[in-house]
Amino acid sequence: MKFGERLKDSSKRHGSKIILALDITGPQSSRAERAEALLVELGDSLAGVKVNFQLLLPQGLQGLARVAEICSEKALPLIADIKLNDIESTNLETVELLFGSGFDAVIANPFAGHNEGLSKVIARARALGKGVILLVYMSHAGAEEGYALKVGEEPMYLRFARKVREWGADGAIVSAKSLEIIKDVRRTIDPWQLILSPGIGFQGGEADKAIRAGTDLAIVGRSIIDAKSPRAMLREFNQSISDS
């Protein structure tokens, strides 16, 4: 089963279109423990889980072994948000380490290119039943300085959306705040390829609007993990999507 199919299956089984971003701050010594507790509490109502450098750097792969175990136990796809962007040999070594440590997919930056950049990474992921998701449009204000730059008359994000399709990646990351861009990307990529949208909550994006525009799954972090009741907040997000 392809990664995208497993992610959609998890979404259906858990009745959720939310990928939890474990963007945990605070004392480094307690970050992994807090992440584990959140997964135990919320895992039955999530589509997937995303981990970025806020956990990976202080904890390392060994320090996140229990996070990966909980995701595996709950059949929650685990995504490494490292925006992979290096030469082929480094990229391959990186994904081998991540996939061997329980991660199911990696987010990569298409600026690295295909030839001697990401082509073998995508092939290796496919061979292992893992996923590669390409970063098409970010959710911060400065995204327009790179991802909206025009090559001729075409914005970079549309060129990258075509790369999602041409390279056979599993999907695209597109900001939930950029609804027209979501629509453009949805029209450009293949139907089986997913759009995952961050930037929801603290950054101003709205999950229900992103889903209506063409997003498949919404990525939510601080609005849930820093809430007084993470479970109640997750329920609210799931309900807003189901009502949309």
- Catalytically annotated residues: 83
With 0-12 / 13-18 / 19 or more C-beta atoms within 10 angstroms meaning exposed / middle / buried, residue 228 is exposed
- Evaluate whether 77 touches 39 at the Cβ level (below 8 Å): no
Record the tokens describing residue 196, joined without a space. 């995952």
Task: Work out the angle between the directed axes of helices 88-100 and 119-128 (0-180°, nearest 10).
Answer: 20
Residue 161, SS3 per DSSP: helix
Q: How far apart are CA 118 and CA 129, in angstroms?
A: 16
**Three-class SS state of 39:** helix
Q: What is the DSSP string of 81-104?
A: EEEE-S-HHHHHHHHHHHHHTT--
Cβ atoms of 186 and 157 closer than 8 Å? no
